[in-house]
């Protein structure tokens, strides 16, 4: 068993069916809900400003995603983040394409100031949020997590959040510890919103977790193992998307322990 024990976190998710409140983008809405259901969580996509704060206080975790943002949604996100923090509910920020436009940069800064528990993005997004470099190609990354280690660690220290950077090999840091998570499959970035959906899965693992760093590593490890297994069955992006839901649903604690490829070290 690994010292981070991802299997214990997966077992908790399955036993508790956490309610995950998501204010996500139009593209991710359906795939993300399906991924969360396949995992064994209970997703709810609730956006209206009139109810976002009230709902966030009921949920086990909240996730905010700026992928297809509008001013009204951003206000709802702000309300939801404040309500989550007041209720002690962990929340995840997914800063989609945060380097691309001024609106996204300002939204990223505004949500970052509300103290997310975890920030999960691709390498270009984390570089843009942390140090205004690494613009990416719209929502896609043009950088690798290896090049974002120092930026992720300093963002974690500055914000108090756990920072997860995904790509071929993911990394997770709380500014002190750094974990690398290998696995997944090259077809994963060929299916839209799998990263957005992963941010939802991180939310599910945060609900009721004592150590958000270990919970985030467990979420990414579960995704990596399911992705690897789906890749064996897939013939392309279409069949991969279906196989991935099936693999996540079938994933059990023993398989996760056997197949998770984790490295734990000190943050730079
Ligand atoms: N080349 C790759 N090989 C293996 N796994 C990968 C690869 N690229 C991405 N992944 C995996 O795909 C998942 C989504 O990460 P990615 O970095 O593509 O998110 P993203 O860019 O935010 O996606 P999106 O915005 O489309 O939702 C992660 O589990 C990551 O480990
Ligand atoms: C394609 C796309 N455009 C805005 S959000 C999104 C989903 C992947 O981030
Ligand atoms: Mg993304």
Cα(192) to centroid(ligand 3), Å = 9
| CB contact at 8 A, 61 and 207 | yes
**How many CB atoms within 10 Å of residue 149?**
20
Q: What is the pLDDT of residue 128?
A: 97
Q: How confident is the model at residue 133 (pLDDT cuts 50, 70, 90)?
A: confident
Q: Which is nearest to 28 in space by CA: 76, 74, 70, 63?
A: 63
Sign of the C-alpha dihedral computed for residues 69, 67, 33 and 110 taken in this order: negative
Q: What is the dihedral of CA 51, 56, 60, 62, to 10 degrees?
A: 110
Domain boundaries, the chain: 6-263
Cα(247) to centroid(ligand 1), Å = 16
Summarize pLDDT for 36-71 with one digit per residue, the tens. 999 999 999 999 999 999 999 999 999 999 999 999
Instruction: Kindly report the protein residue whose alpha carbon is nearest to atom 26 of ligand 1.
Output: 193
Summarize pLDDT for 202-261 with one digit per residue, the tens. 999 999 999 999 999 999 999 999 999 999 999 999 999 999 999 999 999 999 999 999
Summarize pLDDT for 107-116 with one digit per residue, the tens. 999 999 999 9
Task: Reply yes or no on domain 6-263 having CATH 3.40.1190.20.
Answer: yes
Summarize pLDDT for 188-208 with one digit per residue, the tens. 999 999 999 999 999 999 999
| CB contact at 8 A, 267 and 217 | no
Instruction: Kindly report the protein residue whose alpha carbon is nearest to atom 9 of ligand 1.
Output: 167
Q: How confident is the model at residue 135 (pLDDT cuts 50, 70, 90)?
A: confident
CA distance 241 to 260: 21
ipTM of the shown complex: 0.98
Q: Which is nearest to 50 in space by CA: 83, 24, 27?
A: 83
What count of residues does the chain have? Answer: 268
CA distance 42 to 47: 16
Write out the binding residues.
Answer: 45, 120, 166, 193
| Tokens 């992720």 -> residue | 152
Summarize pLDDT for 208-217 with one digit per residue, the tens. 999 999 999 9
Cα(260) to centroid(ligand 2), Å = 28
Mean pLDDT over 80-105 rounds to: 97
DSSP for residue 175:
S
Q: How confident is the model at residue 28 (pLDDT cuts 50, 70, 90)?
A: very high
């Amino acid at each position: 068993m690994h010292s981070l024990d991802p299997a214990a976190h997966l077992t908790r998710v399955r036993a508790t069916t956490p309610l995950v409140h998501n204010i996500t983008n139009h593209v991710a809405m359906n795939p993300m809900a399906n991924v969360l259901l396949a995992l064994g969580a209970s997703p709810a996509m609730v956006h209206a400003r009139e109810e976002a704060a009230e709902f966030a206080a009921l949920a086990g975790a909240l996730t905010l995603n700026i992928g297809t943002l509008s001013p009204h949604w951003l206000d709802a996100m702000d309300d939801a983040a404040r309500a989550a923090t007041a209720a002690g509910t962990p929340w995840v920020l997914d800063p989609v394409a945060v380097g691309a436009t001024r609106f996204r940069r300002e939204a990223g800064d505004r949500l970052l100031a509300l103290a997310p528990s975890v920030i999960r993005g691709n390498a270009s997004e984390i570089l843009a949020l942390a140090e205004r470099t690494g613009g990416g190609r719209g929502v896609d990354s043009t950088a690798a997590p290896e090049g974002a280690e120092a930026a992720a660690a300093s963002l974690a220290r500055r914000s108090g959040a756990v920072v997860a950077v995904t790509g071929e090999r993911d990394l997770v840091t709380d500014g002190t510890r750094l974990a690398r998570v290998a696995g997944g499959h090259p077809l994963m970035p060929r299916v839209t919103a799998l990263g957005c959906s992963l941010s939802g899965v991180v939310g599910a693992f945060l609900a009721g977790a004592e150590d958000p760093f270990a919970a985030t590593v467990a979420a990414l490890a579960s995704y990596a193992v399911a992705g690897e297994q789906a890749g064996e069955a897939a013939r392309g992006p279409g069949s991969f998307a279906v196989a991935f839901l099936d693999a996540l649903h079938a994933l059990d604690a023993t398989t996760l322990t056997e197949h998770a490829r984790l490295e734990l070290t000190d943050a730079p």
